[in-house]
Structure 1
Amino acid sequence: MATRIPTRPSTMRKEPRQARSRATVEAILIAGAQVLGRRGWAGFTTNEVAEAAGVSIGSLYQYFPNKLILSEAITARHFDEILAVLRGIGDETLPLARRVEQLVDGMIGVHSINPALHRVLLEEAPRARGPRSVHDRFEAEYLRCYAALIAQPDDARNRESADAAAQVVSAAVAGVIHDAAHRGTIGLPVLKQELVDMVDAYLLRRRRRERVRMRTREMSGSGRATVKR
């Protein structure tokens, strides 16, 4: 299990503002992700990251004062990649099945780049807690994006059901993909198709159920109006 720490560690020591400094930070984050995935949290060191990035340890410390803050920046980068996938399927003019396929394709793509890193982030790397932590801010936006995917016209009246559905779909997708990454089966086309079919079937059934609920409510309201006359 990942270690949990009580408060969020301090942020980056220095914000990269020029193109050269941004390139340095980019190189550090890429190298850091590779080293963290390869070594795990226990073997993760800033010295090895600096060497892999081709920068001095002093340059690394200009931006990341310790490995905890560096790992949190790597985590934030991974979260941004996931949110980019979710925000990219927001075109409501597309059929639901196509949006689900885009979701699964994107999630598999993100988690196929460095599967070992995702395991370390999930199971080993320390996590800051609190309302402003990287994880908590990500979780709120993550569920909001899933809620937008599965949104129904009547969800405003049944917020609890909509929130529960977003949690179910997000957990199902993440669970299957993380397990596949761990097992080394994430690239199997049949796995992708089964996951698409599962999510699609769940959402279609939920939409049918919500339509029936809306019709029942409308008929009930119409009946009461007739009686009043």
Structure 2
Amino acid sequence: MTEKTRRKPRQARAQATVEAILEATFQLLESDGLTDLTTNHIADRAGVSIGTLYQYFSDREAILYALSKRQSDDVRKMITALVLEAPETSGVRAIIRALMYGPKGSPQTRLILSDALFRSGGSDEMSRQHYAFLESVSGQQSFNFPHGREAAFILTHTAVQLLRAAAGEPELQLNPDVLEDELVHLLESYIENLNARVERARA
């Protein structure tokens, strides 16, 4: 079956089937990890036939990508809500917390989904995070600086990549509260440095 003819989850029943497949995948990742994750196991946990599963997803990787993309979308929506609901208080810390605690699951599950996201749509997904983060930060008066694309790239990618690295090194036993503080200090210091350089250039 080609991707063009693969069924799209437009009807409520079809959407419910897709949700069941994604939820089953998440549960299996949480309980058993990636090693024994197969489409047969996913279909069995979801309560659908393997044929039904393949009507919606071409393989395991496609399921992982769909699940990881949903996680990414949820985080982006969380960041957007933070800015829209409380623009006067939203800032770097709120965004860092959304990135740290928005994704569901254990650190291992989050890392697996992060890897799947990067394998299947890495540059596009990073751009989506990039613009969401940039829009949030740029909307704050205290962070109002004439930034270039390079500075914006550093701001958005630093947090995502460092958190991804932290999830991949659980043996370090990093304290999440301390990690949050350090990421906030890092990004706020960079923003202050950008502002200082702009002021020196104007003098």
TM-score if structure 1 supplies the norm length? Answer: 0.69
Give 1:171 deviation, angstroms. 2.6
Report what 1:193 is aligned to: 181
Aligned mate of 2:122, from 128, 132, 135: 135
Report what 1:118 is aligned to: 110
Q: CA RMSD in A?
A: 3.1
Residue 88 of structure 2 aligns to which amino acid in structure 1? Answer: L
99-108 vs 143-152, which moves further: 143-152
Report what 1:169 is aligned to: 155
Report what 2:24 is aligned to: 31
Give 1:187 deviation, angstroms. 6.3
Q: Which has the higher contact order (CA 8 A, sep 6+)?
A: 1
Which protein shows a greater Rg? Answer: 1
Alignment of 1:18 with 2:11, yes or no, is yes
Structure 2 runs not aligned, ≥5 long? none
* Amino-acid identity (%): 26
Q: Is the 8 A contact 2:104 2:110 kept in 1?
A: no
Report what 2:67 is aligned to: 74
Report which of the two has the higher share of helix.
2
Structure 1 runs not aligned, ≥5 long? 1-8, 129-133, 156-160, 217-229
Residue 60 of structure 1 aligns to which amino acid in structure 2? Answer: L
Q: Name the CA distance, whole Å, in 2 between partners of 1:72 and 1:112.
A: 15
Aligned mate of 1:203, from 191, 195, 200: 191
Q: After TM superposition, where is structure 1 displaced by more than 4 Å over at least 4 residues in a row?
A: 122-126
Q: Is the 8 A contact 1:147 1:162 kept in 2?
A: no
Q: Name the CA distance, whole Å, in 2 between partners of 1:154 and 1:20.
A: 48
Give 1:54 deviation, angstroms. 2.4
Q: Check 1:179–1:136 CA distance in 2 against 1; reply closer, same or farther (3 A cut).
A: closer
Q: Name the CA distance, whole Å, in 2 between partners of 1:52 and 1:12.
A: 25
Q: Name the CA distance, whole Å, in 1 between partners of 2:19 and 2:174.
A: 26
Residues matched between the structures, number:
194
Aligned mate of 1:145, from 132, 137, 148: 132
Q: Check 1:26–1:204 CA distance in 2 against 1; reply closer, same or farther (3 A cut).
A: same
Alignment of 1:181 with 2:167, yes or no, is yes
Q: Name the CA distance, whole Å, in 1 between partners of 2:5 and 2:197.
A: 48
Q: Check 1:12–1:71 CA distance in 2 against 1; reply closer, same or farther (3 A cut).
A: farther
Q: Name the CA distance, whole Å, in 2 between partners of 1:70 and 1:171.
A: 25
Report what 2:95 is aligned to: 103
Q: Name the CA distance, whole Å, in 1 between partners of 2:108 and 2:48.
A: 24
Give 1:126 deviation, angstroms. 8.1
Q: Is the 8 A contact 2:71 2:104 kept in 1?
A: no
Residue 63 of structure 1 aligns to which amino acid in structure 2? Answer: Y
TM-score if structure 2 supplies the norm length? Answer: 0.76
